[in-house]
Amino acid sequence: MFLAKLLVFIIILITGTDGYHASILFQCTYISRDLSDVELIYSISFNKAVQIQFNSTFGKFLGFTEIGVKHAHLSNNDPQILSDISNLVNVCKHYGEIGYPAIVDKFVQPKIKLRSMKLVGRSSPAVLVCSAYDFYPEQIKVSWLRDGREMTTDAMSTEELADGDWYYQIHSHLEYTPKPGEKISCMVDHGSLIKPMIIDWDPSISESDRNKIAIGSSGLVLGIIIATAGFIYYKKKISRSTTHRWSLI
């Protein structure tokens, strides 16, 4: 699942008169909507270099410098310190319960369209365009699948645009040479979706042919309606004419 991460930062800066400074960073990361996978990262830095860090996913301290390694070792062997720092995850959950739903509720699902097009002056390979419209927020992933596997070798390009009304659109192009029996799909992953949306390409009929069929079908239906109305009118006219002749006799 591809969900935008919500981060909450709490930074404490300590600056000495000699120009040295230390900082403590609390970083809360949320991925799932039910806040079941909250991650806390607690870092202590000196002059912008991280010395020691606690990651709730790993449940222990990590040292990044010589002195940081020593402090990490001491902290990891102190159950009380590990318990106290682990309990800070509840602080992350508290902030998440306040802010995360407000952000999630702003998500708008994309409208997806898959079509083919011809490049001017070229007969092959074919070009497929997968477009996603009117989605929010901006973070989105569009990928191509061949027989269920993500494609990485064919020429692809992605164009991302802002609609100007807080929504976004994206267009991904794929150049490919059709092969009998293979299935080409466009997969769109966005924070508004419970799972990625997959649209399969149907090469049996082109978009222009679909339009022609739609127009032809509309014309056929209209023709049947007109013919039926004409037949009813004709029957009524014949019936009136016959009645009139009998009245004269």
CB-based contacts of 179: which residues, under 8 Å, 6+ apart?
none
Torsion angle of alpha carbons 133, 137, 143, 149, nearest 10°? -120
| 3-state DSSP helix/strand/coil % of the chain, to nearest 5 | 30, 40, 30
* Residue (of 129, 150, 145, 119) closest to 200 by Cα position: 145
CB-based contacts of 56: which residues, under 8 Å, 6+ apart?
38, 39, 40, 41, 86, 89
> What would the pLDDT profile of 74-85 be if each residue is shown by its tens digit?
999 999 999 988
11 pLDDT above the threshold of 90: no
Q: Rounded CA gap, 88 and 188, in Å?
A: 35
Q: Rounded CA gap, 177 and 121, in Å?
A: 16
Q: Rounded CA gap, 31 and 37, in Å?
A: 7
The pLDDT score that the predictor gives to residue 217 is: 45
Tokens 């390694």 belong to residue: 69
Q: Rounded CA gap, 18 and 12, in Å?
A: 18
> What would the pLDDT profile of 48-76 be if each residue is shown by its tens digit?
889 999 999 889 999 999 999 999 999 99
Among the residue ranges 36-40, 174-178, 224-228, the one predicted with the least confidence is: 224-228
Q: Rounded CA gap, 137 and 122, in Å?
A: 36
Beta-bridged to residue 16, according to DSSP, are none
| Dihedral angle sign, alpha carbons of residues 192, 195, 196, 202 | negative
The pLDDT score that the predictor gives to residue 245 is: 46
The pLDDT score that the predictor gives to residue 225 is: 58
> What would the pLDDT profile of 91-115 be if each residue is shown by its tens digit?
888 877 877 666 666 788 899 999 8
Q: How many CB atoms lie within 10 A of CB 94?
A: 12
Q: Rounded CA gap, 185 and 144, in Å?
A: 6
What is the rounded average pLDDT for all residues in the chain?
76
The pLDDT score that the predictor gives to residue 247 is: 46
Q: Rounded CA gap, 117 and 129, in Å?
A: 7
> What would the pLDDT profile of 198-229 be if each residue is shown by its tens digit?
999 887 755 554 454 344 444 544 555 565 65
> What would the pLDDT profile of 116-173 be if each residue is shown by its tens digit?
877 665 555 678 899 999 998 888 999 999 999 998 777 677 777 877 777 899 999 8
Domains of the chain: 6-104 (3.10.320.10), 111-200 (2.60.40.10)
The pLDDT score that the predictor gives to residue 12 is: 59
Q: Rounded CA gap, 127 and 35, in Å?
A: 41
SS3 188: strand
The pLDDT score that the predictor gives to residue 246 is: 38
20 pLDDT above the threshold of 70: yes
CB 52 within 8 A of CB 70: no
The pLDDT score that the predictor gives to residue 244 is: 47
